[in-house]
Amino acid sequence: MGKIVSAFGTVHAPQLFDRPPSEDPKQLDADIAAMRLIGKDLEESKPDAVIVIASDHLETFFLSSVPTFAILSGEYSHAEFSGRKYELKIHEPLTEDLLDKLIKAGFDLSYSQDAVLGHAFAAVYEWVIEQRKIPVVPIFVNAYLPPLPTAQRCAALGKAIAKVIASRPENVAIIASGGMSHYPGTWKYPKPAYDFDYWAIGQMEKGHLDSLINLTNEQLDEVGNTEMLSWTIMFGAIGNIKGELVTYQPTWHHGHAVMRFMPLKGIGPSKEGMGAPPDYKFEGGTSSTNTPCLRLTG
């Protein structure tokens, strides 16, 4: 019987590759160090495969075809960014079984055998998986071109993924790539919602993952966190468990976060999470406690 042996959430900002002069190199170094740290945790958990869940920034899919969810199949996963190219072995038996069983479970997944992935995947390949010979299963979620899947639908997909894993022999790791607050291509780009990020970190550290799953896409968009949809797929797979913040870097345009959920190291709550209020107030009077509720069990 297969099981999920480790789970992590990580930043994937393009500045980690390009290192433009507008960035604080100490913040970028802290991000990369944190990603390499969870990479060691990943290795210690000895997975047979790594499911990498990430979004796209119009690098792979655009107006000709934008899947809501897609699985990358075939022999190898290819990714490119900033002059770097990656070719990682795909765990084909797990990939094919997920595609078959998830469609039978009512999830209309697209698939591709030749899509070239962008920096959301490349960052995980570069600094988390690094040179480890662990086969991957890349899963794409649309987080930028409306209509987007809801966080609740993403969590339901994650729960279905966990059910497939449990029916198989492999031990599996999950890495969710995305977030936190940022507004690419808009006037709000230099105004990240750090306060929301702190609230979200606090909820994750308490194991209140439902608080994020129950947010609407309008609320996630307001705080620049639609990329958290990749994290909510992971939440659905692992259930309501506590997380640990490895690093949070509030850059001038982006909240960079790296968190571990499995295995925990007992480091306790972060200063960011401890200082966050129990509820977050959105514009228009809505809050994190008056949205439609989905109870997550796992």
Q: Which amino acid is at 94?
A: L
The answer to whether position 143 is within a domain reads yes
- Residues 22 and 35: their CA atoms lie apart, in Å, by 22
The answer to whether position 290 is within a domain reads no
The answer to whether position 293 is within a domain reads no
What pLDDT, on the 0 to 100 scale, is given for residue 225? 95
Q: How far from 15 is each of 22, 31, 53, 195, 296, CA to CA, in Å?
A: 9, 11, 20, 22, 34
What pLDDT, on the 0 to 100 scale, is given for residue 203? 96
What residue has token string 């107030």? Answer: 281
Nearest to 29, CA basis, from 13, 41, 42, 43: 13
- Residues 31 and 126: their CA atoms lie apart, in Å, by 12
The answer to whether position 103 is within a domain reads yes
pTM score, two decimals? 0.94
Range of the domain at 20: 3-285
Output the domain CATH number for residue 211: 3.40.830.10
What pLDDT, on the 0 to 100 scale, is given for residue 294? 43
The answer to whether position 197 is within a domain reads yes
With a cut of 70, which residues of the chain have pLDDT below it? 284-298
What pLDDT, on the 0 to 100 scale, is given for residue 256? 97
The answer to whether position 264 is within a domain reads yes
- Which regions of 36-97 does DSSP assign to beta strands (E)? 49-54, 69-72, 76-81, 84-89
Nearest to 250, CA basis, from 177, 201, 186, 207: 201
Number of compact structural domains in the chain: 1
**Chain centroid, CA 2 distance in Å:** 22
The answer to whether position 101 is within a domain reads yes
What pLDDT, on the 0 to 100 scale, is given for residue 293? 43
The answer to whether position 295 is within a domain reads no
What pLDDT, on the 0 to 100 scale, is given for residue 289? 57
